[in-house]
Amino acid sequence: MVSRDWMEKDFYKVLGVSKDAPTADIKKAYRQLARDLHPDHNPDNPKAEERFKEVSEAYNVLADDKKRKEYDDMRSLLGAGSFRRDARMGGAQPFDLSDLLGNASRGAGMGGGGFGGGDSSGFGDLFGNLFGQGRRRGGPSKGRDVEASVTLSFSDAVLGTTIPLTLRAPGVCDTCHGNGAAPGTTPETCGTCHGLGMVTTNQGAFSFSEPCKDCQGVGTIVKDKCPECKGTGGVTKTRTMTVRIPAGVHNGQRIRLAGRGEPGDRGGPTGDLYVIIVVTPHEFFERREDDLTLRLPISFAEAALGADIRVPTLDAPITMRVPPGSPSGRVLRARGRGVPRRDGTTGDLLVTLEVEVPATLSPEARETVEKLATQLPPADRHELGAD
């Protein structure tokens, strides 16, 4: 699904292509930019690294027909700007659809990240609180989710790898173990809300609930605060963890690591870590779903007579048989040499033959070709009406 984050970015501008650019142009622009901005070519250049991530994200959307259509449709809808009610209906003030999307997304997960997890809010909470049916907000609460991006080579993304990942983010306080209380003490139940975190008042036929002001909706009060975290239960830490990247991940994919995010409040469960994959393009391999593609140059003699040719793969070269009389553009398939799938099977390697014609010939070679031309049948152009 299209995320709100996409709506705020002009992916066509990021890649420097027009909005009606064909997929081939998008791919060409991406490969050029990816080569120029690759971290290996721009060491210690954070601007180039950030630009590289932007280009990869744009390509991940625009190169996928389904994602591109969703992106174009929503951008077109939002491009209309604000929607005004008919003046005859009272001339209401305009509203922006992006605000509506923002309000909806802010109710999920990371305060707007919209990973589909975490607490949901919005209209349900609005009417629930109005009639005294709001959620309980007291007690420990889950920590926020965290995002981190890693850049992988094409080979590592296909074959899988294990990488160290260093994060500087809030972690559980080692002194109070996350409850915010000084050593030897524990948080006390709030006497105002009795641990509920909400205070309810009745006004006629309606009940109104609001967060308890004494405990700020937590349900407990820390009288003696931890000297290390000042009662928050968390401190900023630098963490290095080993992350296993499974085989077959694709550019832009998010990998969820449960319980590796920020610590919860007052001993609540830890949030999750989402690792965003950025894949650098390969020099000559490309990916099509679970298959790999490769363009293989061959000579006229190899195409006409057939040949056994060594072909590279991502792990070890293989020998493929080029049948005699193979035309340029013929596709050979090497089964099981593609991208590993979750079910244990593997995609294929699709090799497209490209017959190379020399731009210049030596006098001896020209004489040989001219002699050969008298022995070869002419090209069949009958269907074109040229003969």
pLDDT in tens, 88-109: 333 333 333 334 333 433 333 3
**Annotated binding-site residue numbers:** 173, 176, 190, 193, 212, 215, 226, 229
Largest separation between any pair of C-alpha atoms in the chain: 106
Cβ(275)–Cβ(258) under 8 Å? no
More confident: 209 or 81: 209
Residue 266 in this model has a pLDDT that exceeds 50? yes
46 within domain boundaries: yes
pLDDT band at 321 (very low <50, low <70, confident <90, very high): very high
Q: Which residue in 183, 268, 184 sits closest to 234, CA to CA?
A: 268
Using the 3D structure, point to which of 53, 79, 105 is the last residue of a domain.
79
pLDDT score for 347: 93
1 within domain boundaries: yes
Section 150-174 average pLDDT: 84
Helix (H) or strand (E) segment spanning residue 204: none
Cα–Cα distance between 134 and 179 in angstroms, integer? 25
369 within domain boundaries: yes
Residue 65 in this model has a pLDDT that exceeds 80? yes
148 within domain boundaries: no
Q: String of b and e for 197-212 (b: at least 16 CB within 10 Å)?
A: bbbeeeeeeeeebebb
3-state class (DSSP) for residue 102: helix
Cα–Cα distance between 30 and 37 in angstroms, integer? 10
Section 116-145 average pLDDT: 48
φ and ψ at 130, to 5 degrees? -60, -40
pLDDT score for 96: 39
Give per-residue pLDDT as tens, 352-374.
Answer: 999 998 888 899 988 888 888 88
Place of tokens 């975490």: 118
Range of the domain at 15: 1-79
Residue 224 in this model has a pLDDT that exceeds 70? yes
3-state class (DSSP) for residue 10: coil
More confident: 15 or 75: 15
More confident: 120 or 75: 75
Of the spans 46-60, 132-146, 203-217, which averages the highest pLDDT? 46-60
Cβ(261)–Cβ(144) under 8 Å? yes
2 within domain boundaries: yes
Q: How many CB atoms lie within 10 A of CB 380?
A: 8
309 within domain boundaries: yes
Please report the beta strands in the chain, taking only residues with DSSP state E, as ranges in sequence order: 82-83, 95-96, 146-152, 161-172, 188-189, 198-203, 206-211, 220-221, 234-245, 254-257, 273-279, 286-288, 291-298, 307-311, 318-322, 331-334, 349-355
| Amino acid present at 194 | H
pLDDT score for 169: 67
Cα–Cα distance between 150 and 53 in angstroms, integer? 10
**Annotated binding-site residue numbers for Zn(2+):** 173, 176, 190, 193, 212, 215, 226, 229
pLDDT score for 190: 87
Cα–Cα distance between 55 and 29 in angstroms, integer? 9
Using the 3D structure, point to which of 33, 50, 79 is the last residue of a domain.
79
Q: Number of structural domains, the chain?
A: 2
DSSP letters of 113-149?
Answer: ---S-S---SHHHHHHHHTT-PPP--S-BPPPPEEEE
pLDDT score for 199: 84
pLDDT score for 302: 92
Rg of the chain (C-alpha set): 30
Q: String of b and e for 305-315 (b: at least 16 CB within 10 Å)?
A: eebebebebbe
Residue 4 in this model has a pLDDT that exceeds 70? no
Give per-residue pLDDT as tens, 164-191.
Answer: 888 776 667 878 877 788 888 888 888 8
pLDDT score for 381: 76
Cβ(355)–Cβ(300) under 8 Å? yes
35 within domain boundaries: yes
pLDDT band at 120 (very low <50, low <70, confident <90, very high): very low
Residue 64 in this model has a pLDDT that exceeds 90? no
Cα–Cα distance between 149 and 116 in angstroms, integer? 19
pLDDT score for 323: 94
Using the 3D structure, point to which of 24, 58, 79 is the last residue of a domain.
79
Tell me, what CATH number does 298's domain have?
2.60.260.20
Cβ(202)–Cβ(210) under 8 Å? no
More confident: 78 or 22: 22
Which residues have CB under 8 Å from 3's CB, separation 6+?
Answer: 105, 114
Residue 329 in this model has a pLDDT that exceeds 80? yes
Provide the β-strand partners of residue 90: none
pLDDT score for 239: 75
Cα–Cα distance between 209 and 132 in angstroms, integer? 6
Residue 350 in this model has a pLDDT that exceeds 90? yes
More confident: 253 or 378: 253
pLDDT score for 377: 83
Q: How many CB atoms lie within 10 A of CB 242?
A: 8
Cα–Cα distance between 9 and 3 in angstroms, integer? 11
pLDDT band at 230 (very low <50, low <70, confident <90, very high): confident
Tell me, what CATH number does 54's domain have?
1.10.287.110
- The three-point CA angle 251-2-12 to 5° equals 65
279 within domain boundaries: no
Residue 118 in this model has a pLDDT that exceeds 60? no
Torsion angle of the four alpha carbons 310, 314, 315, 318, in this order, in degrees rounded to the nearest 10: -20
